[in-house]
Amino acid sequence: MKTQVVMAAAFASTLVVANPAAAQDRSGWPENFTVGTASQGGTYFAYGSGWANFVAESLGVSGGAEITGGPMQNMALVHTGDLQFGLTTMGPARESMDGNSPLAPGMKMDNVCAMFPMYETPFSVTALSSSGITSIADIPAGSTIGFGPAGSTSDTYFPRMMETLGVDFERRNGSWSDLGGQLQDGLIDVVAFAAGIPIPAVSQLEVQADVNIIEMTDAEAKTITDNYPVSEFIIPASTYQSLEKPSRVVSMWNFAMANCDLPESLVYEITKLTMENNDRMVSIHKASRNSVPQNYSKNNVLPWHPGAARWFNENGYAIEASMIK
């Protein structure tokens, strides 16, 4: 899939002089870096673009974000070294490492290392209020459901979840922004979102139309958590103006990752910068409230990059040597 560079921060020599990180060993550091995100209108794009600029400005290295197909493609691009960094969820990460990626069946993408925890991705369903759909059971047979970009976390898992819950549907792919527009125009019936909250496309959609953000019942949540690598999650009522009360769904953890061959000193400095400046990260996207070191234990899939592991171990978050690449 062709990717497109969408944002970059130019190298600034004054930052190199002013920033203490510049005095450290930079041998082997790339002249620039790129972060794989996902489609516009989704949280990965907003989070990844802002984070890339924060790193570039702070460390004085040219860098930016790139639109991709999401976690599955990011795993492939980081594994091959086409991208230095990327964002992924634990489910697609596991499938990719095991050689089960639909993008490259049989290729074990094991040159990808964890850097730091990002946030949980809730799986939530949105429909126009005018549709009368207020629950998953209400979705009429044969409805067209938008599942996000092909190969994304949503596209990988949400169709399976819907089938498990007995929903009969037609599948539609596209960027979150595009699918939100199609929902508003009546071209599709439902959008099954999987992204950090608040999802920009949902926030934009509810400004322009009356929508129902649909939660799972007790039985539905139990069925899905029993069958998929997810856990229950509560979307706070304050997340969207359309929510009158908290909404129970399921979620999957996201981690930032690096190509394992990148210099330890570079990944150490980026991990340190990100983990020690949560206020700045939250200003980039509210989902970053969970981008804190205490959540490092949510990674039970990817090996840790030595640079990231060094920062966590130095700060009291123990990572066993067997978990370090």
Q: Which helix (H) or strand (E) holds 250?
A: strand 247-259
Same domain, 139 and 218: yes
Whether residue 220 is found in the same domain as residue 147: yes
- The answer to whether residue 273 is domain-embedded is yes
Same domain for 239 and 134, yes or no, is yes
* Together in a domain, 152 and 108: no
Give the model's pLDDT for residue 151.
80
d(CA 213, CA 136): 10
Q: Which residues of 12-27 are buried (b: 16+ CB within 10 A; e: fewer)?
A: eeebeeebebeeeebe
CA dist., res. 166 & res. 93, Å (int): 27
In this structure, the answer to whether residues 172 and 188 fall within a common structural domain is yes
Report how far residue 268's alpha carbon sits from residue 266's, in angstroms, rounded to the nearest whole number.
5
Taking a C-beta distance cutoff of 8 angstroms, is the pair 199, 44 a contact? no
Residues 6+ apart with CB under 8 A from 310: 264, 268
pLDDT of residue 41: 85
Q: Is residue 288 part of a domain?
A: yes
Kind and range of the H or E run holding 258: strand 247-259
Tell me what pLDDT residue 103 has. Answer: 87
Whether 156 and 88 map to the same domain: the answer is: no
| Residue 170 shares a structural domain with residue 203 | yes
Give me the torsion for CA of 24, 283, 253, 221, rounded to 10°: 170
Parent domain of 232:
121-252
Q: For residue 125, tell me if it sits in a domain.
A: yes
| Domain identity same for 149 and 193 | yes
Q: What is the pLDDT along the chain (325 residues), one digit of tens a residue?
A: 434 444 444 333 333 333 444 456 899 999 999 999 998 888 999 999 999 999 999 999 999 999 999 999 999 999 999 999 999 999 999 999 999 998 899 999 999 999 999 999 999 999 999 999 999 999 999 999 999 988 888 998 999 999 999 999 999 999 999 999 999 999 999 999 998 899 999 999 999 999 999 999 999 999 999 998 888 999 999 999 999 999 999 999 999 999 999 999 999 999 999 999 999 999 999 999 999 999 999 998 999 999 999 999 999 999 999 999 9
Query: Does residue 14 lie in a domain region?
Result: no
pTM to 2 decimal places: 0.82
Tokens of 303: 């090996």
- Number of domains composing the chain: 2
C-alpha to C-alpha distances, 300 to 145, 253, 259, 263, 324, nearest whole angstrom: 31, 10, 18, 23, 12
Residue in this structure with the two tokens 């399976």, named with its chain if needed: 160
pLDDT of residue 150: 86
Residues 257 and 113 in one domain: yes
On whether residue 205 sits in a domain, the answer given is: yes
Final residue of a domain: which of 203, 231, 252? 252
Structural domain contains residue 25: no
pLDDT at 102: 87
Distance (Å, whole) CA 246 – CA 220: 16
Picking from 206, 222, 252, the residue at the C-terminal end of a domain is 252
Q: Which residues pair with 233 in a beta bridge?
A: 249
Could you tell me how far CA 23 lies from the centroid of its own chain?
A: 32
Amino acid at residue number 297: S
138, 225: one domain: yes
Long-range CB contacts (within 8 A, 24+) of 279-282:
280/54, 281/51, 281/54
Of 225, 252, 279, which closes a domain? 252
Would 188 be classed as within a structural domain? yes
Domain presence at residue 22: no
Residue 250's pLDDT is what? 96
CA 289 to chain centre: 14
What distance in Å separates the CA atoms of residue 138 and residue 168, rounded to the nearest whole number? 11
Question: Is 239 found in the same domain as 151?
Answer: yes
Identify whether residues 197 and 112 lie together within a single domain: no
